[in-house]
Amino acid sequence: MSLIQFEAIAKRFTASGRSQDALSDVSFDVKRGEVFGIIGLSGSGKSTLVRLINRLETPTRGRVRIDGTDLSTVSPRDLIQLRRKLGMIFQQFGLLSSRTARQNVAFALELAKPKLEATDHKKVDDLLNRVGLADHAHKYPAQLSGGQKQRVAIARALANSPDILLCDEPTSALDGESTQGVLDLLSELNRDLGLTVVIVTHEMEVVRRICDRVAVLDHGRLAEVGTVAQVLFDPQSEAARSLSRHLLPVPPAEIGASEDRLRLTYFGDVVTGDALSAATQGAHVRFSILSGQVSALKSVPYGHLIVDIAGPDRGLVIERLKHSGVRVEAVA
C-alpha cells in the first residue's frame, strides 16, 4: 500500500531574480515497509524531493500525500503531529556538539515535553543500545567516529517512533566499513520495526545493498522508477544507464575487441546453478570466460560473466541461456 505519494510535483526556486525548476512533473509512490532509493546526479533534485516529504519545502505545483493525507491541506498543529511520524538523518549528522550522545537522543523527546520521565530515559537507553552505542552514551560528538555519529543521529531520529525515516546522503561522509555498518543498521530497522526508509544517494552501491525500489531523477524529471534489479540491469533511461554502468564488469582492455563477446547477467538460484555448462552441453561452440563477478542486490545474489561464444550453435546456446533466466547482451 502506498505510504508516500508524489502527484505531478513541480518545484521552482527563485533567487536574485533568477528562476530554476528543481523538479518538474514528478509522480511516483513509496510503499509502506520498503527501502526506497532516490538517485540521480548532483543537482537533479533529490534533496528537494525528500524535503517535500516533511514540508521543509513546499511544491510549486502538485501534491504530496502521506498515508493519504494531502500535506498542502494540513493545519499547522496537524503538521507538527505528522512530522513526529517522520525521522530524518543527514550527511553531516546534525548533532549538537555541546551535548553527549545520550543528550542528543533525549533532545528529540525534550522537544515534545519539558520534563522527561523514567520511561523516556529508558527509551533513550534502549535506542542507544539498539544502534550499538550503549558504551558511548556519555561521549560528545567530537569523541565519536563518523559512523558512530550517524548512529546517534539515527537513534535520535527514532526517538518519536516514526513510521518513515528520511535519509539524505546518509553514508556520503563515511568510509567503507562505517558505510556498511550504517546500511546494515538501516536494513535491520526496516526489517524489525517495519520502518519505511527513503534514501537519497548518488552512490549506486547504497542502492544495490539495501534498496527494494528506486526512482531515478534527471534534471528534475523522473527518468524511471522500478525495482533495483529492473533499474540497474534493464535500465530504460539514459540517466539510469549511466548511473548503473559502473556496476557492470568490463572486459579487460588487454583482451581486445570481439564480435563474439557477450555479457551474461543472472539472479538468485541461477547464480549457483550450471546455466552455462547446461546451455553449451552437446553444442558446437567454443567459449572462453574473460571476467566474472558475483555480488548481491540486498540479499539476492546476482552475477555477471563476460564470455566469448563462437561456433555454429552460438544462437542455440544464447536461446538456452535466455530460457534458463540469464540475461544476454552483446558487448561492443
Ligand X SMILES: Nc1ncnc2c1ncn2[C@@H]1O[C@H](COP(=O)(O)OP(=O)(O)OP(=O)(O)O)[C@@H](O)[C@H]1O
Provide the binding-site residues for ligand X, judged by CB under 6 A.
13, 15, 20, 22, 40, 42-48, 202
Find the shortest distance in angstroms from Cβ 45 to ligand X.
Answer: 4
Residue 30 or 105: the one with the smaller Cβ distance to ligand X is 30
Separation in Å, CA 102 to CA 126, 176, 180, 280 = 11, 26, 23, 61
Residue 145 or 172: the one with the smaller Cβ distance to ligand X is 172
Number of CB atoms found within 10 A of residue 73's CB: 9
Q: Helix, strand or coil for residue 201?
A: strand
C-alpha 243/C-alpha 226 separation (Å) is 14
Residue 169 or 308: the one with the smaller Cβ distance to ligand X is 169
Separation in Å, CA 143 to CA 136, 138, 147, 262, 312 = 9, 10, 12, 51, 66
Collect all residues with Cβ–Cβ distance below 8 Å to 176 and sequence separation of at least 6: none
- Which grid cell is 248? 557492470
Find the shortest distance in angstroms from Cβ 276 to ligand X.
Answer: 39
Find the shortest distance in angstroms from Cβ 88 to ligand X.
Answer: 14
Phi and psi at 180, nearest 5°, equal -60, -45
- Nearest in space to 328 (alpha carbons), one of 189, 234, 240: 234
Residue 44 or 104: the one with the smaller Cβ distance to ligand X is 44
Residue 26 or 331: the one with the smaller Cβ distance to ligand X is 26
Rg (CA), the chain: 23
Find the shortest distance in angstroms from Cβ 168 to ligand X.
Answer: 8
Find the shortest distance in angstroms from Cβ 231 to ligand X.
Answer: 17
Residue 189 or 243: the one with the smaller Cβ distance to ligand X is 243
Cβ-contact 231, 270 below 8 angstroms: no
Cell 536494513: give the residue. 187
Find the shortest distance in angstroms from Cβ 22 to ligand X.
Answer: 3
- Which grid cell is 294? 558475483
